[in-house]
Amino acid sequence: MKKPFKLSKSFTIIEVLIGAVILALVGVGAIAVEKEYMQSSSYNKQKLQAVGLAQEGLNLTRSIFDTNVIAGADVWTGLGGDAPSPSQSYNKLVKDANGKWQLAPGEETITLNGVEFKRKIFIEE
């Protein structure tokens, strides 16, 4: 009479390898998700900084314009002199010889946390 088949209580090498492969796949997936999250977070931070710099430029330009209106001066004083052409870009505030703030022509480069941003302000009548 044959002995009945006895179940082994230990793992075979195949089972161990399959388990290791599944565990590795789960680990790689988790790392990929974390990497994507970190890149997205960095991009969103830079996007928020860019929006802040754009808002700052808009506020500075509006401040010069409003100051001119209140003072009764030519509204374009400090914003390029004559009515600006749509193709002219301005960059940052500088003080003129009279101590008044003006926008300087050109493009401004701003570096925040190692990221370089370029800002141009276009003014149209």
Q: Where are the domains of the chain?
A: 17-122
Residue 24, pLDDT score: 94
Instruction: Please report which confidence band the pLDDT of residue 4 belongs to, taking 50, 70 and 90 as the band edges.
Output: low
Residue 23, pLDDT score: 93
The more confidently predicted of residues 79 and 60 is 60
Residue 20, pLDDT score: 92
Q: Which residue has the tokens 């749509």?
A: 86
Residue 21, pLDDT score: 93
Residue 87, pLDDT score: 62
The more confidently predicted of residues 71 and 52 is 52
Q: Which range has highest mean pLDDT (34-38, 48-52, 68-72, 83-87)?
A: 48-52
**Long-range pairs, 57-66, Cβ under 8 A, ≥24:** 57/119, 57/121, 58/121, 60/93, 60/101, 60/103, 61/90, 61/103, 61/121, 61/123, 64/93, 64/101, 64/102, 64/103
Strand order in the sheet with 101-105: 101-105, 89-95, 121-122
Instruction: Please report which confidence band the pLDDT of residue 37 belongs to, taking 50, 70 and 90 as the band edges.
Output: confident
State the pTM of this model.
0.56
